[in-house]
Amino acid sequence: MYKLNSGFRWTCSTQVETEVGTFTFESEERDSDIKQLKEQLLNHAAQINSHGEIVSNQKLTKSASEKQLEYLLSNLLKYGVLIASSVVLFGGILYLIHHGSEPAEYQVFLGTPSEFRSPTGVVNAVLAGSRRGIIQLGLLLLIAVPILRVIISCLTFLLQRNFIYVIITSLVLASLTYSLVGAYY
């Protein structure tokens, strides 16, 4: 039974009995069980649904082309984001060097200039030396990386003759294209 005494400490009025025992476990061929599990993972595993029917055989290891595609896409995303971020950072630094000491005028809202509303306008602004154009170019690169990923995936699935995935990635690409082009019309 626990009681609260005036010092806000919990005390126990019952005695605690402790028992110490030792257990020994026999190690009977643990390695053989692990080897069997590894062999089962490497072989095709059959899934059985609740009715006891075999649903499908699944391959648990990836082929060389799947690994190569994963490597290509992961590097595309990694380096694409790094390049786009570097371009935005570079443009931001140049912009702050030139315009950093100017006071911000929040009384009048000025929208994005027309030269930054299309990809060709952004490229022309960068070629003209615009610092905002460099920032916008970095943002366009950031948008282009996932689109390029979908295009590469679609072409890879087409070469592998995996037509279900070609259809799915084509739908994703059509959706992305519509969302980009739909902004202009």
Has residue 45 got a pLDDT over 50?
Answer: no
On average, the pLDDT of the chain sits at 78
Over range 75-88, report the average pLDDT.
94
Three-point CA angle 120, 179, 121, nearest 5°: 10
What was the pLDDT predicted at 44?
45
Q: Which long-range contacts (CB under 8 A, 24 or more apart) does 50-59 make?
A: none
Q: What is the pTM of this model?
A: 0.60
DSSP string, 18-86: -----------SHHHHHHHHHHHHHSPEEEE-TTS-EEEEE--S--HHHHHHHHHHHHHHHHHHHHHHH
Q: What percent of the chain has pLDDT above 90?
A: 33
What was the pLDDT predicted at 101?
82
* Least confident span in 54-58, 118-122, 123-127: 54-58
Which one of 23-27, 42-46, 131-135 scores highest in mean pLDDT?
Answer: 131-135
Has residue 74 got a pLDDT over 50?
Answer: yes
List b or e across 42-73, with b for residues whose CB sees 16 or more CB atoms inside 10 angstroms.
Answer: eeeeeeeeeeeeeeeeeeeeeeeeeeebeeeb
Q: Which of 98, 81, 99, 102 is nearest to 149 (CA)?
A: 81
Over range 83-88, report the average pLDDT.
95
Which tokens sit at 47?
């899934």
